[in-house]
Chain A
Amino acid sequence: MSSLNQLTLTQAVDGIKSKKFSASELVQDCFDRIKKLEPHLNAFISLDKTTALAKAQKIDFDKPLAGIPIAVKDNFCIKGIKTTASSNLLKNYTAQYTATVVSKLEDAGAIIIGKNNMDAWAHGSSTETSDFGPSKNPWNFDYLPGGSSGGSAAAIAADEAIAAIGTETAGSIRQPSAWCGVVGLKPTYGRVSRYGIIAMASSMDCPGPITKTVDDAALILSLISGHDIHDATSLPQKSLNLNLSKKDLKGLKIGLPKAYLPDNIHPAVKDLILQAAQTLKSLGAQIIDLDVLDPQLSVAAYTVLQRSEVSSNLGRYTGIRYGGPRSEFGDEAVRRIMLGTHTLSSGYYDAYYLQAQKVRTLIINDFEHQFNQVDAIIGPTSPTTALPVGSSKGESMFGEMADLLVEPSTLAGLPGISLPCGFVDGLPVGLQIITPQLREDLALNIAHLFESNTDFHLQKPKL
């Protein structure tokens, strides 16, 4: 048997419940892995081994995640635990309350083992803007893991934890998952509570799982989703039935937008996506070429809206509370605050913020139109594989280019999943599947069938 830390979530749950091994053994094994790899990966900002092992001693076997070691991104508040969002400004900030998602995971029996590195304030797609140093890609330490949930994706790819929780505003779950060869699910906006997550762009922020398999992502989503009285934007919803029981894709129409395979895409990435489309076709789906709005429009609209909201959300860090003075904001945060302040200021609001909201409506309408023709849309999660460490330096639009293909669905609040669909030069490539709002079940079923008929998810970096 492979070592315990390599288990998927569902395997680990079964193993503990059937007492093949103990929660303590599993937690210890993850910490052994962390100890070995962290000097190379820097996927964690903080770890709490003592508490985790103590919790592993007394678990409730009836709970769905009994004794499972889970890592959460450092923008989730956990009472009594340092919560920095990888920023110097919050390096001494201890959260006073616990995020709803974390409470739900703990209520389900999960053990939070530590908090993952990220782009500072979730501003980026590289984890290089972290004020505590970049995380590295487990497939090649000279490469970036993506971001902003880069630490989380790296930790799962390297088997440092059984599952992780990230957040995505546009791409921050899916893009690092693609670059690290793991599964990342961004739920419908409002499916999962944002309460207790340090806000980036409030109208788009969305927590979701980063896991080793599609099954695992479905299990986590079913446990963290639901209406929250503390989040007015969380949707009233029935409990999720995520039974991944589809046997084939017969009768399903899957769209492949031409615009999602742009000229500047890495040719090998394009080939893998076309191959993935063939796989889905062989499972019974009809693959349809789609004409969608140019994703560049989404980048423009997204950039304005996100910066605007960021400038307001970061206003509270005045230097009076939370420890650090404003001079501790990194360059990327300062750039975003300045741009967002400009786009909201009187005389410019109509030209930027309001215009961007109008474009957003057009994008939502376009997706509605597309979903009249197809059941799901696929494409590459990112136009490239992981880029070398240092690539984001001096590139203020780095994130927007890396997230070109996930920003449209983000603006429309749609769910999307990224899962491994091959490798280029030893680096993973992600396939994304986008479905209409609240149709995570469909995205997960398609992903699950694809995964069951391929073995990309079984490959591990040699560490």
Chain B
Amino acid sequence: MKITPIIGIEVHIELQTKSKMFCSCSASHFQVEPNTHTCPVCLGLPGALPVPNQTACDYCIKLGLALGCSINRETFFERKNYFYPDLPKSYQITQLQQPFCIHGQVILDGHTIRINRAHMEEDTGKSVHQHLNGVDATLLDYNRSGVPLVEIVSEPDILSPEMAKDYLLKIQQIVRYIGVSDADIEKGSMRCEPTVNLKIETDNQTFYTPLVEIKNIASLTGVQNAIQFEIDRQTEAFTQTHEVKSAANKTTRGWDAVKNQTFLQRQKEGSADYRYFPEPDIPPIVLTDEHIENLKNSIPELPDQKIARYQRDFGLNNYDAGLLASDINFAAGFDTAVGQHPSPQMAKFVANLFLGAIKTYLNESQTQLDIAQINPDFFNNLFQSVTNSQISATVAKQVIVDSLKTGQDPVAIATSKGLIQVSDSEEIKKLAQAVIDQNPKAVQDYKKNPASIGFLIGQLMKASQGSANPQIAKETLEKLLQ
């Protein structure tokens, strides 16, 4: 029996616009006092009308472009009619027939995951279930009602829980790169609903298990665990029931992160009838090529492009390039630090600093890199000093962090701390003679075993307070001991 998981994911990204999708209320709602960011429009009061937020539409299109989508030049909004207490108009304004963005893709290690669409819609309010005054109550908070959402629907091209995680990380990274949302799964600004079933090949026959959509997942680990659970559950269910996919047996299951299992939420009797029709309150939207071109030009270099460039131009390996590009701010810091047209040696040197000392410092101090503090001249000076042996690689790591903290030239810091390597042979000769005079036993050891010169070098370095060029120190000692 060969089992292949078939996974598609619907991702909702909450756009971080100032105002909501169809009114001028503030779109911020995380930890905001309930029902304080509301107005007739997002409360769905009689007579109120939606006016689309141009910035939100532009963000949606930018995101679509960053995902390689084509943009529909003529689009319109539609009403999706259904009842839910936190849906104040009893319809959600969304896009069905002509979404802003269609047919994109994300590539993960050479495997393409097709994106069916990315469309614009509005968020619902929030139902808060509470025990209140002795009764179980559902409270409604409409702060989230009308917050702009982009829904990204993938094709079922994802083959494993790990790939699902990588796909989501990629989406998250792209969203953060173009700056339209913080895409934080824990805070709910990025939400993931995988649909999972299995292709089962056995005895020269192929079966497809019923589709299951999983809701209520609040973390990346949750996504992986929920998908893995479904794969196992469906495998077992199939061996027992042999039930296969039909138009009528798609179900919705919730994810219980505590019990680490999915549970049946809704049995769909055929497909729900949302009675979609074009939203009469909003005229159709016609996008010009010029507008789309402008949006395209406003998209920064994306992670995949950056990684390719770092490999191509700087000779970095895929792993290091990927680490540098993981966060747009960090990558921007690196790009600033290397300056215009650096040599591959210089770029590698700076990359090592970023992936080593600087990353460690940022992690330990839990700070964000301040691009304004990055001076490419400093990095260049440091690189030159290390190249001509004035500064050791170890000292470079130390002073670059000090430089970031203080805004001073790292070479100047090294100088003031006396960390410049001494390459002056007379000076080193004096130190070497002193070390030989003070360590007769070590000198005897050396005579028996030349490999033991390390001790004497160490003593010399110590005497120079680390400033001696170790290579010259070694050569000088060897000369004197001949």
Interface residues in chain A, defined as those with a beta carbon under 8 Å from any beta carbon in chain B: 75-77, 83, 85, 90, 93, 95-97, 99, 194-199, 201-203, 229-233, 308-309, 311-312, 315-316, 318, 320-322, 341, 344-346, 349, 353
Flag the segment in B46-54, B212-220, B394-402 that touches A: B46-54
Name the CB-closest residue of B to A309: B280
9 cross-chain pairs, A with B, having the tightest CB-CB distances, nearest first = A315-B90, A203-B280, A344-B275, A202-B280, A196-B47, A198-B46, A232-B51, A77-B47, A316-B90
Name the CB-closest residue of A to B282: A232
Q: Across the interface, which residues of A come within 8 angstroms of B281, CB to CB?
A: 202, 231-233
B263 in the interface (beta carbon within 8 A)? no
Apart from A199-B46, A315-B90, what are 7 other A-B pairs with CB-CB below 8 Å? A76-B47, A77-B47, A194-B49, A195-B48, A195-B49, A232-B281, A344-B275
- Tell me whether A315 and B40 are in contact (CB under 8 A): no
- Tell me whether A232 and B45 are in contact (CB under 8 A): no
Q: A96-B40, A202-B281, A315-B91 are in contact. Are A77 and B46 (CB under 8 A)?
A: yes
A349–B276 Cα distance when bound, in Å, is 9
Q: How far is the CB of B56 from chain A (nearest CB, A)?
A: 14
Q: Across the interface, which residues of A come within 8 angstroms of B280, CB to CB?
A: 201-203, 233, 309
A453–B332 Cα distance when bound, in Å, is 78
- Tell me whether A345 and B273 are in contact (CB under 8 A): yes
A201–B271 Cα distance when bound, in Å, is 27
- Tell me whether A197 and B85 are in contact (CB under 8 A): no
- Tell me whether A349 and B46 are in contact (CB under 8 A): no
Interface centre among B52, B89, B280 (most CB of A within 10 A): B280
Q: How far is the CB of A35 from chain B (nearest CB, A)?
A: 30
- Tell me whether B46 and A312 are in contact (CB under 8 A): no
Q: Across the interface, which residues of A come within 8 angstroms of B89, CB to CB?
A: 315-316
* CB contact between A344 and one of B51, B90, B277 (< 8 Å): that residue: B277
Interface residues in chain B, defined as those with a beta carbon under 8 Å from any beta carbon in chain A: 40-41, 44-52, 79, 81, 83, 85, 88-91, 271, 273, 275-277, 280-283
Q: How far is the CB of B12 from chain A (nearest CB, A)?
A: 23
Q: Across the interface, which residues of A come within 8 angstroms of B51, CB to CB?
A: 229-232
A196–B46 Cα distance when bound, in Å, is 7
Q: A97-B40, A233-B281, A318-B90 are in contact. Are A312 and B45 (CB under 8 A)?
A: no
- Tell me whether B47 and A199 are in contact (CB under 8 A): yes
A76–B49 Cα distance when bound, in Å, is 13
Q: How far is the CB of A265 from chain B (nearest CB, A)?
A: 32
- Tell me whether A99 and B277 are in contact (CB under 8 A): no
A318–B81 Cα distance when bound, in Å, is 13
Q: How far is the CB of A354 from chain B (nearest CB, A)?
A: 9
- 25 A-B contact pairs sorted by A residue (CB < 8 Å): A75-B47, A76-B47, A77-B45, A77-B46, A96-B40, A194-B49, A195-B48, A196-B48, A199-B47, A201-B280, A203-B280, A230-B48, A230-B49, A231-B49, A232-B281, A232-B283, A311-B81, A311-B275, A312-B275, A316-B46, A318-B85, A322-B46, A344-B276, A344-B277, A346-B275
A320–B51 Cα distance when bound, in Å, is 26
Q: How far is the CB of A204 from chain B (nearest CB, A)?
A: 8
A353–B44 Cα distance when bound, in Å, is 24
A312–B83 Cα distance when bound, in Å, is 11
Name the CB-closest residue of B to A83: B46
A341–B44 Cα distance when bound, in Å, is 20
Q: Across the interface, which residues of B come within 8 angstroms of A341, CB to CB?
A: 275
Q: Across the interface, which residues of B come within 8 angstroms of A233, CB to CB?
A: 49, 280-283
Q: A202-B280, A344-B275, A345-B275 are in contact. Are A232 and B79 (CB under 8 A)?
A: no
A195–B280 Cα distance when bound, in Å, is 13
Q: Across the interface, which residues of B come within 8 angstroms of A197, CB to CB?
A: 47
- Tell me whether B282 and A316 are in contact (CB under 8 A): no
* CB contact between B49 and one of A75, A83, A232, A322 (< 8 Å): that residue: A232
Interface centre among A90, A99, A309, A346 (most CB of B within 10 A): A346
Q: How far is the CB of B49 from chain A (nearest CB, A)?
A: 5
Name the CB-closest residue of A to B85: A320
Q: Across the interface, which residues of B come within 8 angstroms of A85, CB to CB?
A: 46
Q: How far is the CB of B230 from chain A (nearest CB, A)?
A: 28
Q: Across the interface, which residues of A come within 8 angstroms of B282, CB to CB?
A: 232-233
Name the CB-closest residue of B to A202: B280
A203–B91 Cα distance when bound, in Å, is 16
- Tell me whether A232 and B52 are in contact (CB under 8 A): yes
A85–B47 Cα distance when bound, in Å, is 11
- Tell me whether A353 and B49 are in contact (CB under 8 A): no
- Tell me whether B47 and A349 are in contact (CB under 8 A): no
Q: Across the interface, which residues of B come within 8 angstroms of A199, CB to CB?
A: 46-47
Q: Across the interface, which residues of A come within 8 angstroms of B91, CB to CB?
A: 312, 315
- Tell me whether A353 and B47 are in contact (CB under 8 A): no
Name the CB-closest residue of B to A231: B49
Name the CB-closest residue of B to A90: B46
Q: Across the interface, which residues of B come within 8 angstroms of A194, CB to CB?
A: 47, 49
